[in-house]
């Protein structure tokens, strides 16, 4: 092949020129919801009936984002009285979910967690357990095989 000044430029143009006719890859996000993977670490769901108020999640949290107030019930067992996660401090590291001995705290597949007010970023999970949200499988023992998701490419 003979070479001349500007050959590289023309080659470059040929690459970008080809791409013009390819399919675009944009996800039109607010109109089309993204496909959230099953392990997603997003919002939280909390089963207060299961919770034994052991406080391991509070100890495991690197950023002190969890507030747990416990009380004794009639059988002299610890039960939670208040359970809050401050998403403003949360790193979404998942150490609390992994460490829970009774599997009462779950990640959900929620991902739009922006709020208008700072105080709204504190999740009062005791009063709003958020059980209806779709749960993620993060930190849960592998039991059932999730249905296959679409290929990545």
Binding site for other proteins (CB under 8 A): 5-9, 11-17, 19-26, 37-41, 60-62, 91-95, 98, 107, 136, 138, 142, 148-149, 151-153
DSSP 135: B
Considering the complex, what minimum distance in angstroms separates the CB of residue 83 from other proteins? Answer: 20
Considering the complex, what minimum distance in angstroms separates the CB of residue 151 from other proteins? Answer: 6
Q: Which residue, 46 or 138, has its beta carbon nearer to other proteins?
A: 138
Q: Which residue, 143 or 151, has its beta carbon nearer to other proteins?
A: 151
Considering the complex, what minimum distance in angstroms separates the CB of residue 60 from other proteins? Answer: 7
Q: Which residue, 117 or 142, has its beta carbon nearer to other proteins?
A: 142
Beta strand ranges found along 54-99 (DSSP E): 66-72, 78-86
Q: Which residue, 126 or 137, has its beta carbon nearer to other proteins?
A: 137
Sign for the CA dihedral angle at 128, 108, 122, 53 comes to positive
Q: Which residue, 68 or 90, has its beta carbon nearer to other proteins?
A: 90
SS3 of the chain: helix, strand, coil, percent, to 5: 20, 20, 65
Considering the complex, what minimum distance in angstroms separates the CB of residue 75 from other proteins? Answer: 27
Sign for the CA dihedral angle at 87, 91, 96, 97 comes to positive
Q: Compute CA 87 distance to the chain's CA centroid, rounded to the nearest angstrom.
A: 11
Please give the Cα distance from 81 to 126 (Å, whole number): 8
Helix (H, G, I), strand (E, B) or coil at 10: helix
Considering the complex, what minimum distance in angstroms separates the CB of residue 96 from other proteins? Answer: 11
């Amino acid at each position: 092949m003979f070479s001349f000044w500007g050959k590289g430029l023309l080659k470059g143009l040929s690459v970008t020129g080809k791409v013009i006719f390819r399919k675009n890859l944009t996800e039109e996000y607010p109109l089309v919801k993204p496909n959230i993977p099953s392990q997603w670490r997003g919002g939280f769901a909390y089963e207060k009936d299961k919770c034994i108020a052991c406080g391991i999640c509070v100890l495991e949290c690197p950023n002190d984002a969890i507030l747990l107030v416990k009380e004794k019930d009639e059988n002299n067992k610890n039960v939670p009285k208040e359970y809050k996660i401050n998403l403003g401090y949360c790193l979404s590291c998942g150490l609390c979910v992994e460490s829970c001995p009774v599997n009462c705290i779950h990640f959900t597949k929620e991902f739009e967690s922006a709020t208008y007010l700072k105080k709204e970023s504190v999740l009062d999970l005791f009063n709003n357990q958020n059980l209806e949200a779709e749960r993620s499988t993060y930190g849960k023992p592998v039991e059932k095989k999730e249905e296959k998701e679409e290929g990545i490419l």
